[in-house]
Amino acid sequence: MSKGRCKTAILISGSGSNLQSFIDRVDSGEIDLELAVVFSNRPDAYGLQRAQQAGIATACIEHAPFADRETFDRAVAAKLDEWQPELLILAGFMRILSPWFVKHYEGRVLNIHPALLPAYPGLDTHQRVLDAGETWHGSSVHFVTEELDGGPCILQGKLAVDRQETAEQLCARVQAIEHQIYPQAADWFGKGRLQFKDGCAWLDGNRLDKPVVQAFGNVTPF
Ligand code: GAR
């Protein structure tokens, strides 16, 4: 059942190619979200320019001057709440969130992580996957909880690793998948199909004990 256009805040720290995929899919009508604000902790994040070009409000607070994580997070939330977001999309937002922030937006924060969670949480996932000789790699959309990269998984996009490729090439292929699965999962949330309840992800009223997995063949870089 649709609950109307979902007010969405997108948080970034860098290039914002995932942000761009949301902008493009909202523009084309493929997904139905209201992109209310794009927030960055870095003033030089290219994603801020993407947002401005798309006519989306932007906000930026640098984290460095803040004494601790929660003080910064409270300032971020005070800023974001000016737009009363119903959904927060972490799109390359390279900050660990305080328990206070997670609680403040409980069940309303999605993250995308470039690995098939629970495998390869943390940084440098593409090189680690290549070094380990993995057959499969991909990306995961999950609800954010206090556990880093540990909240319930919703949707994964999966590809076969090419042993000849570099980490940069693998990253580009994974990001092309991200640009498809992340707007899709967010749209489920916006339409009221996806919820966080009892510490689990629920899709269309069914608890997701495992994420929905989509396999991708020849995905060309975005
Ligand atoms: C994305 O690939 C995302 O999976 C990753 O940062 C990239 C941001 O790219 N996120 C993390 O590593 C979070 N742990 P973008 O700025 O071009 O969207």
Report the relative pairing of strands 87-90 and 6-12 from DSSP bridges. parallel
pLDDT of residue 4: 53
| CATH C-level class of 1-105 | alpha beta
Residue type, position 151, single letter: G
Helices (H) and strands (E) in the chain, counts: 6, 11
Q: Indicate which residue's Cα is closest to atom 7 of ligand 1.
A: 92
Per DSSP, the residues of 89-147 read EESS---PPPHHHHHHTTT-EEEEESS-TTSS-SS-HHHHHHHTT-SEEEEEEEE--SS
pLDDT of residue 218: 60
Residue 186 DSSP SS3: helix
Residue 128 tokens read as 């680690």
* Residue of 13, 18, 25 to mutate, ligand 1, most atoms within 8 A of C-beta: 18
pLDDT of residue 222: 41
Q: Indicate which residue's Cα is closest to atom 1 of ligand 1.
A: 92
* Residue of 19, 111, 175 to mutate, ligand 1, most atoms within 8 A of C-beta: 175
Supply the angle between the helices 167-190 and 17-27 in degrees, to the nearest 10: 40
Residue 63 tokens read as 């984290």
- How many whole angstroms separate alpha carbon 50 and alpha carbon 41? 15
pLDDT of residue 219: 52
Residues 6+ apart with CB under 8 A from 180: 21, 157, 214, 216
pLDDT of residue 182: 98
Q: Does residue 113 have an active-site annotation?
A: yes
- What secondary structure letter does DSSP report for 16? -
What does pTM read for this prediction? Answer: 0.95
- Which of 84, 74, 75 is closest to 9 using CA atoms? 84
CATH 3.40.50.170 domain residues, the chain: 1-105, 111-222
- What secondary structure letter does DSSP report for 146? S
Write out residues in the chain with pLDDT < 70, as ranges.
1-4, 218-222
Query: For the domain bounded by 111-222, which CATH number is listed?
Result: 3.40.50.170
Name the catalytic one among 63, 104, 113, 126. Answer: 113
Question: Which segments of 81-166 does DSSP mark as H helices, in order?
Answer: 99-104, 125-131
In the structure, which protein residues have their CB atom closer than 6 angstroms to any atom of ligand 1? 12, 14-18, 91-92, 112-114, 139, 175, 178
CB atoms within 10 A of CB 104: 18
Q: Indicate which residue's Cα is closest to atom 16 of ligand 1.
A: 16
Tens digit of pLDDT for each residue in 47-106? 999 999 999 999 999 999 999 999 999 999 999 999 999 999 999 999 999 999 999 999
Task: Calculate how far, in angstroms, residue 11's C-alpha sits from the geometric centre of ligand 1.
Answer: 11
Residue 36 tokens read as 């209310």
Q: Indicate which residue's Cα is closest to atom 10 of ligand 1.
A: 92
Residue 207 tokens read as 């608890």
Ligand 1 atom closest to the CA of 91, numbered from 1: 18
- How many whole angstroms separate alpha carbon 98 and alpha carbon 74? 9
